[in-house]
Structure 1
């Protein structure tokens, strides 16, 4: 019999003689410390990201309140510009990306592959602790007038608006980008080299495939954005002229640097959500996932093709016809692996014994909304159509169907699904369904009319507009208020359930992937004895399997 080894991330002071004194769970105050446990870090990401989601959401409601009427009668247009810039920044860089990748990725990846922790636990903690100061710097920028140039920060506008606010904005994004790079290195190494020995690559859960593709994409694209922003910072503060057109600079180069990251950023936000969908749908439909390999490889395909579509954001920037043609084709091609996933999910649902839990409702809601966002994305990817609606509300409607109807719905689905594993408590399903209904209706009410506004010619990023657009804008504003209200039952449901909810079993959904084979919440070292994989994570109803692992009882696998 092999001698049991100490876990890889043994806390300081723990030795073989004191192993029996090893705590089974962290205390609440441990979540406010520099903790190297991947599960603590994952929850730290989720809670911090949700706080910034509330901040960005309040800015959105303030902007929509301003747009209730054509005149600037609620907030000053300058403040509107600052809210416009920082709303998008909070939602993308400090809510969706940290929650989807940092939150779920950190909590789930080691559990799903049978690892004790991430490959580099301290680096993992450092990656998280770059986010709170980044958010604080972004909030501080508002006290200096805030960035006024929109979340794209295009020069020359970003060079002449508010130097202090713009500089703080850049510093904040660079910190978040650094966090993303550090986290991506950790995910790649953990998934490829720290799987439990009995897990083959073809048995890796699809969420891990999605995180792997996302991490590779981030490693290629994020440094390019960081370089562009640093050069912009130099132009603002140190007299350089990289992007100053009156001094020989080239503003188009900045757009290339920005969009080389910022279109792949859409996939950074949605690929982990695709992974969440691929975990939730088979569990609650009680069917094996349809086309496991196709869905896994489609994540890698999106990762590759996604690096060659950025110029479709620049069709109105004087791009030559050959470039428009090339990037129109590449943009249409990237829709193919996305369609593979959607058809795989629909085929999994077809004929399944569907349990309409809150997690499943949000997953199905996401599926319907992402189809709408995907169709409008295909239209925007074709140059002739994009030239007419590029700077209109049509783009705003498309973007929010993809990222709110897609990413945010996916985050909610993931929270309802893995909340029992994270906390050991069940969320209230009744209030969860209330949350879903309010969010579903509010999303359509807010963003569907924006497509018509765009087709009618209303420009985006404006605080004042022609009175002919007032009716549709009022509809959008009422929808945004409903979306704001929808957060209330979720917030109190999560808080109440965390403290007083019904205690969850180790596997309340009868799921088959590895994270459900440990306790709820998991032990600090995840398992007392590492599991042994005996079959796939989606083998529902196959060979009579009710679990995907058998625990080794006689020796520890390290």
Structure 2
């Protein structure tokens, strides 16, 4: 097959729908990545406008620009938009767009999941913006501390928009994290072992795993606070056995890793671009990877340094202060590796390199002030002053926005296929760089002079007037610079001339394809022999175009990719991906009905939404698979491989593993909250425990003891119908035990103990019901011929959830009954 015919066939197979249907039905990673990034930059513009309104208000004392109530909504929404609707989604969009190209494949593992996550992000973000336009936006700060955000301090609908909208948006983050983790580990070009992966893929992998373990505590906190607001369950009310500090622990268990979740993708961008600009390979690749992994681990041990002023014990202050300073070590490893790369090479000062230099100058200052606030006595003085505002922006803008602007200019020729012609970029750079430092360097000063943050005004004669006026003027200079960046990018995309395929002389695979890239990325999948494939084999792009790699012969309408072994990158199986569909946008809209029901107090609507989502999920899954074994398939280069569904370790199985990792983190956070309230909160022990129920442990153990062995019997195909039937009986017993526990719980509105027991029992009941649903689905698939000795991936996935449901049932029963037994 010649190259032109191959291009036409692959384009027909992988193309998105045309016209207005395209954004709603596409599952192509390039389309979705661009859509993610465009939406993120739109929200960045909204957040920037809100920031300018804040600086206009604070430019002069006793400003009449806006009232205090409006100001509270504006500064809350500014932080919310920038943290939740810009930073994380921009990383998701960049990773969704770039990773398949960097990894030498045609798409991600779960294209429809990416589309579902995008629409959840758009609908959740729209919900928050509508609250702002309606004048009922959240106004308790982007951290939403109770009791300010509970019905005691805010009886209106404002906090509900935050709690429900952010949880809706976080579905997108979790979906993207599962998608990226599985894709990086399993969907790579043959021969691309872990030590040959692009450095950006390592950073994306660590970030995705951090999202899976860092976001569940906030999701749990949002659920608990919404349950308190909607139904009166007193998790955060001290007079009923709750404690508002529980929210701070759950929030900052997310909030501090969030800083590194934002920084690490930007560090990945720098580690990718810097060697290209310096014309030399990255110095200390293994050390940089180790630094990124260490940073990910250490970030989860720092959350209490946001709570140094809450009265925690001195030993805790010392431990978390030491951990907060220790995190500078892996960060320094990466910074010194970048400096060594520059020293070793011959840096060229193109636009991407200018933004990287701005990053160095800014982020190092933010890191040093971070070490300062990690010291407890200084933190006590600077906490809740504009010094913290300045530190936060030096880290987030210097550590994320500047590298992302470098990424924008670096990958612009790849996205648009055009070279830069108009030169507004340097003018924009200096306006942003000088405007940023003029804005936030001064706020360090005003913070040390005692100016509080989150205040709508201040008195004349405080000594802060000139500082705030200069800071506000600088902020508007910075805003002009960002506007020029938009104009520069738009003009260069629309009217500049066509450019060469690899204008930077880069080494990674995204530059081995035509620009702009075709819908299928690679005419054939390359065989990788080194860490810098385009430098070690400059003709690899020609070989790919000639179809000399894997999957170079299109078949029918099949969208084909390969899975590889995790460590070595050896080809393992072929995956056939689904085509264009509107199912993700419909399912995300139905998911939105669940949140809308709670928002508008229409409590009959969420159960209907749950049923509809379950039905759509079953339809989603039912469309996959075959009714007959396909056997080994030719994939090129004299190689045959089985379909992924016909061997262990399919991508869907891995997706369930990582989804359960996030799920288990949420459950662990729930148990942490239970233990925290029991040991710290006032009003414990509660007036009534759960009575000891001897039959309940027997029922739980019988359910788990039946379900787990039975599903293994079905998986081995010894007696699949019998095994699935017995597993279903086991799940029914677990569900009955969870419902019994829920019914026996003390009044959940009377004390935090009853509320916590009710949530734990409800969690166990939900997972028993989910496992029962999966068991029934597997039985239906078995009877319809979709399951065989080889094709039993669905039973393997059901086994994971059944085992987890049994584990949850046992732990829930033990946690709820143990206090009463010990008494």
Please provide the CA RMSD for this pair: 2.3
What is the match of residue 10 of structure 1? none
Write the distance in 2 (CA, Å) between the matches of 1:548 and 1:445.
47
What is the match of residue 485 of structure 1? 480
What is the match of residue 229 of structure 1? 222
Q: Does 1:525 align with 2:517?
A: no
Deviation at 1:550, TM superposition (A): 6.8
List alignment gaps of at least 5 residues for structure 2. Answer: 552-823
Write the distance in 1 (CA, Å) between the matches of 2:172 and 2:413.
28
Q: Does 1:73 align with 2:64?
A: yes
Instruction: Pick from 99, 106, 122 the counterpart of residue 112 of structure 2.
Output: 122
What is the match of residue 163 of structure 2? 170
Do 1:163 and 1:237's aligned partners in 2 also have CA atoms closer than 8 Å? no
Write the distance in 2 (CA, Å) between the matches of 1:17 and 1:210.
35
Instruction: Pick from 51, 64, 69 the counterpart of residue 60 of structure 1.
Output: 51
> 1:521 and 1:193, CA in 2 relative to 1: closer, same or farther beyond 3 A?
same
Cα deviation digits, residues 75-109 of structure 1 (max 9, x gap): 11111000010000101111111112x11110111
Q: Does 1:140 align with 2:130?
A: yes
Write the distance in 2 (CA, Å) between the matches of 1:93 and 1:210.
19
Deviation at 1:25, TM superposition (A): 8.2
What is the match of residue 346 of structure 1? 339
Cα deviation digits, residues 495-523 of structure 1 (max 9, x gap): 22221122122211110101110111111
Do 1:235 and 1:242's aligned partners in 2 also have CA atoms closer than 8 Å? yes
Do 2:16 and 2:26's aligned partners in 1 also have CA atoms closer than 8 Å? no
Do 1:532 and 1:549's aligned partners in 2 also have CA atoms closer than 8 Å? no
Deviation at 1:348, TM superposition (A): 0.9
Write the distance in 2 (CA, Å) between the matches of 1:191 and 1:554.
24
Q: SS in structure 1 opposite 2:527?
A: strand
Write the distance in 2 (CA, Å) between the matches of 1:57 and 1:92.
12
What is the match of residue 12 of structure 1? none
Q: Does 1:365 align with 2:363?
A: no
Q: SS in structure 2 opposite 1:533?
A: coil
Cα deviation digits, residues 360-400 of structure 1 (max 9, x gap): 10111111111000000111112121111011011000000
What is the match of residue 188 of structure 1? 181
Instruction: Pick from 436, 441, 444 the counterpart of residue 448 of structure 1.
Output: 441
Write the distance in 1 (CA, Å) between the matches of 2:191 and 2:130.
49
What is the match of residue 313 of structure 1? 306
> Structure 1 stretch 472-481 or stretch 491-500: which is displaced more?
491-500
Write the distance in 2 (CA, Å) between the matches of 1:123 and 1:483.
37
Do 1:155 and 1:251's aligned partners in 2 also have CA atoms closer than 8 Å? yes
Write the distance in 1 (CA, Å) between the matches of 2:38 and 2:87.
12
Do 1:532 and 1:551's aligned partners in 2 also have CA atoms closer than 8 Å? no
What is the match of residue 511 of structure 2? 516
Deviation at 1:332, TM superposition (A): 1.2
What is the match of residue 551 of structure 1? 543
Write the distance in 1 (CA, Å) between the matches of 2:525 and 2:435.
44
Deviation at 1:341, TM superposition (A): 0.7
Cα deviation digits, residues 116-157 of structure 1 (max 9, x gap): 101100001111111111111111222143111100000011
Instruction: Pick from 498, 508, 524 the counterpart of residue 503 of structure 1.
Output: 498
Larger Rg: 2
Q: TM-score, normalising length from structure 1?
A: 0.93
Deviation at 1:430, TM superposition (A): 1.7
Do 2:217 and 2:254's aligned partners in 1 also have CA atoms closer than 8 Å? yes
Cα deviation digits, residues 275-295 of structure 1 (max 9, x gap): 000111111111111111111
Cα deviation digits, residues 380-431 of structure 1 (max 9, x gap): 1121211110110110000000111221111111111001111112234621
> Structure 1 stretch 436-445 or stretch 28-37: which is displaced more?
28-37
List alignment gaps of at least 5 residues for structure 1. Answer: 8-15
> Structure 1 stretch 449-458 or stretch 238-247: which is displaced more?
238-247
Write the distance in 1 (CA, Å) between the matches of 2:220 and 2:382.
30
> 1:295 and 1:521, CA in 2 relative to 1: closer, same or farther beyond 3 A?
same
> Structure 1 stretch 78-87 or stretch 158-167: which is displaced more?
158-167
Deviation at 1:539, TM superposition (A): 8.6
Q: SS in structure 2 opposite 1:232?
A: helix
Do 2:523 and 2:547's aligned partners in 1 also have CA atoms closer than 8 Å? no
Q: Does 1:152 align with 2:147?
A: no
What is the match of residue 637 of structure 2? none
> 1:333 and 1:411, CA in 2 relative to 1: closer, same or farther beyond 3 A?
same
Write the distance in 2 (CA, Å) between the matches of 1:226 and 1:24.
36
Q: SS in structure 2 opposite 1:290?
A: coil
What is the match of residue 297 of structure 2? 304
Deviation at 1:303, TM superposition (A): 1.0
Write the distance in 2 (CA, Å) between the matches of 1:168 and 1:181.
20
What is the match of residue 179 of structure 1? 172
Equivalences for residues 2-401 of structure 1 within 5 A: 21-22=12-13, 32-100=23-91, 102-142=92-132, 143-159=134-150, 160-161=153-154, 163-401=156-394
Write the distance in 1 (CA, Å) between the matches of 2:145 and 2:267.
31
Instruction: Pick from 399, 403, 416 the counterpart of residue 396 of structure 2.
Output: 403
Cα deviation digits, residues 342-366 of structure 1 (max 9, x gap): 1111111114222211111011111
Do 1:394 and 1:453's aligned partners in 2 also have CA atoms closer than 8 Å? yes
Deviation at 1:250, TM superposition (A): 0.5
Cα deviation digits, residues 249-282 of structure 1 (max 9, x gap): 2011110000000111111111000000011111
Do 1:533 and 1:548's aligned partners in 2 also have CA atoms closer than 8 Å? no
Q: SS in structure 1 opposite 2:326?
A: helix
Write the distance in 2 (CA, Å) between the matches of 1:189 and 1:53.
29
Do 1:235 and 1:244's aligned partners in 2 also have CA atoms closer than 8 Å? no
Cα deviation digits, residues 15-70 of structure 1 (max 9, x gap): x9965745778868566333111111111011001111111111110110000111
Write the distance in 1 (CA, Å) between the matches of 2:429 and 2:34.
22
Q: SS in structure 1 opposite 2:157?
A: helix
Write the distance in 2 (CA, Å) between the matches of 1:410 and 1:84.
25
